[in-house]
Structure 1
Amino acid sequence: MGEVAMCASSHGHVTLFSTLAVRSALEHRLLEEFTETTGTAVRTVFDPTSVLRKRMASGDHPDVLIAITGDIGQLAAQGVVDGAARLPLASTGVGLAVRAGAPHPRIATVAELVRTLRDARSVAYSRTGASGIYFARLLAELGVAEEVNARATVVEKGFTAAAVLDGRADLAIQQVSELMAIRGVDVVGPFPAGADHDTEFSAVPSTAAAGLPAALELVRFLASEQARSAYGAFGLRAATGNGTRAS
């Protein structure tokens, strides 16, 4: 279902379920560094946190989970993950992107953002991702849900910027780190004050893997100074540990 980061080694592997928001940082840098350092391969599954929770509810458990911090708290209360071993990783905000080279719409104020959304031919956002859940609520709060959704391109999961590249939409809404993961688009910026929203992500071992040294080592590595210094290149900020989330 997921990819294998590096090849399996004599030390075996750990299975990682991860939100899409940190996928680029993991795939393009951090998991390779972890494997080179430890000799342990990482088998990955990337999906929105809500989808990962459904998989875990059906009995599919990873060794390590990266998800919205607030959701991890709920899973810990259910005995699914070892909440005492949770470490915050990074956070990112919701933003807007267009096809590379297209004019950048104005989104410096809430009024400009509303005008941009109303003028768009189609706006792409995710049905299951944290950004999409927040954006759907924001549209209702701004009073433009019916108008925008009548022409929206709502994807079940995955990177919404793909809909800008193939022409289904002219605007893509998602976490900034997820928008940056797609080549061929320009990230116009995060939402302005009054419409902005940050989500924090943490890593935690599952209760089944709480005693597995490789799982604990991966959690610690992903929260290390070495890893934290890499997140900024992929549209992420160092986590504050306050558990910000979309709800």
Structure 2
Amino acid sequence: MRAFRLPLLFAATFSVFSSFVALPACADELRVLAAGAIAPIVRTVAADFERRSGIHVTVDNATGGVVDKRVRSGAAADVVVAPDGVLRGLGKDGYLNLASERPIARVGIAVAVRQGAPSPAIATVAQFRKALLDAPSVAVIDPKAGGSSGIYLEKLFERLGIAGQMHAKEVLVPGGLVAEKLVDGSAALALHQQSEILLVKGAKLVGPLPADIQNYTVYVGAVGARTASGATGRAFLTMFGEETARRAMVEHGLLPEVD
């Protein structure tokens, strides 16, 4: 069996690697399924991993709910990176190897408007609530699509006593970049993971939700329970502890959770 050599990853020191580990030939391709806001970081790591190992990495992206359904339906994925609740549910049901679980990053929900539009005050819960009520339209991930921010916001609107008003003005997005609805004029305000907002040219980040009502999604990675590329998948996950990945997380508005 042909073997190739991959740098042994020392996440704790983020050093230049001089040690190597042989991986089996079946790992010529690594298939990664990533959820939502973590996808840009996964792609950054994938490019670095390809360059250093010679292994082709395919990255597919969907909401957490869709990732869950696809894995349960038999989608081919050697590595899954998803919100912790999704990933651990899949692990509990035997689809992922939880012994390989690795925390990666967390991200909070933020508010955005179209570039050039005035920024509403959102520093306090009362100001945030007023901004929502004043906006003629608000774009959010459709909670039925399984996106973590959409699920949380639906409950938050109920807590704030504005669920009825919000249902009348919501622009529900089944997946992808919610802030694009600002650019095309479909919505005046957008609520989404901060990292997703930063990807949209023409959208302006107003700021995060007030601390009292902020919700962080923690993204975790694990290898598939039945994958033949377990060693390769573990090596891939270890790279999220390197400086390149950590820097990309910060640039995209995520907070590193890796060791």
**How does the TM-score come out when normalised to structure 1?**
0.89
Gaps of at least 5 residues in structure 2 are: 1-24
Distance in structure 1 (CA, Å) of the matches to 2:30 and 2:229: 12
Aligned mate of 1:116, from 122, 126, 131: 131
Aligned mate of 2:74, from 59, 66, 70: 59
Distance in structure 1 (CA, Å) of the matches to 2:205 and 2:197: 7
Aligned mate of 2:34, from 18, 43, 46: 18
Larger Rg, first or second structure (1 or 2):
2
Letter aligned with residue 155 of structure 1:
V
Distance in structure 2 (CA, Å) of the matches to 1:78 and 1:150: 38
1:47 matched to 2:62:
yes
Distance in structure 2 (CA, Å) of the matches to 1:204 and 1:37: 21
More strand by share: 2
Distance in structure 2 (CA, Å) of the matches to 1:230 and 1:160: 21
Letter aligned with residue 74 of structure 1:
G
Shift of 1:229: 3.1
Query: Does the 8 Å CA contact 2:88/2:98 hold for their aligned counterparts?
Result: yes
Shift of 1:126: 0.5
Please provide the CA RMSD for this pair: 1.8
Aligned mate of 2:235, from 201, 217, 230: 217
Distance in structure 2 (CA, Å) of the matches to 1:22 and 1:86: 15
Distance in structure 1 (CA, Å) of the matches to 2:74 and 2:215: 32
CA deviation profile, 1:117-157 (whole Å, cap 9, x unmatched): 00101000001210011001100110001101101101111
Q: Which runs of 4+ in 1 moved over 6 A?
A: none
Aligned mate of 1:37, from 28, 38, 52: 52
Letter aligned with residue 23 of structure 1:
A
1:175 matched to 2:190:
no
The corresponding residue for 2:254 is 236
The corresponding residue for 2:96 is 81
- The 3-state SS of whatever aligns with 1:83 is strand
Query: Does the 8 Å CA contact 1:126/1:155 hold for their aligned counterparts?
Result: yes
**How does the TM-score come out when normalised to structure 2?**
0.85
CA deviation profile, 1:16-39 (whole Å, cap 9, x unmatched): 100120222333x32211111111
Structure 1 segment 110-189 matched on structure 2, within 5 A: 110-127=125-142, 128=145, 129-189=147-207
- The 3-state SS of whatever aligns with 1:84 is strand
Distance in structure 1 (CA, Å) of the matches to 2:228 and 2:204: 41
Stretch moving more, 88-97 or 17-26: 17-26
Stretch moving more, 71-80 or 107-116: 71-80
Query: Does the 8 Å CA contact 1:87/1:223 hold for their aligned counterparts?
Result: no
Query: Does the 8 Å CA contact 1:62/1:206 hold for their aligned counterparts?
Result: yes
Distance in structure 2 (CA, Å) of the matches to 1:220 and 1:147: 45
